[in-house]
Amino acid sequence: MKELVITKENFDEEVRNYRGMPILLDFWAGWCGPCMMLSPVIAEIAEEYDGKVKVGKVNVDEQPELATAFRVESIPLLVVVKDGAITAQTVGVRPKEDIVKMLGL
């Protein structure tokens, strides 16, 4: 599955009210070097774990309300949401294996 672009308009449907597989949210920005380093890893997870995880990208510059709601202070910020609740989060570039472990896969 391709990564979903998460906005304040689709957040409730795609994240808050979604029940099922875990959701990996990647809070990022185009000017963020570490975010660009992590982006191919996130895309790989979205493709490799299609049907097991939903992957969403949140551009903090375009979605300041969501960045504030998640208290984003540093990026990249990865947040795992399961059935509407945050189950894990981490800041910075992480190896793929660590991210998969966060997802419980």
> Which residues are annotated as catalytic?
32, 35
d(CA 31, CA 102): 26
Burial class (CB in 10 A: 0-12, 13-18, 19+), 21: middle
Q: Half-sphere exposure of residue 49, counting CA atoms within 13 Å on the CB side?
A: 23
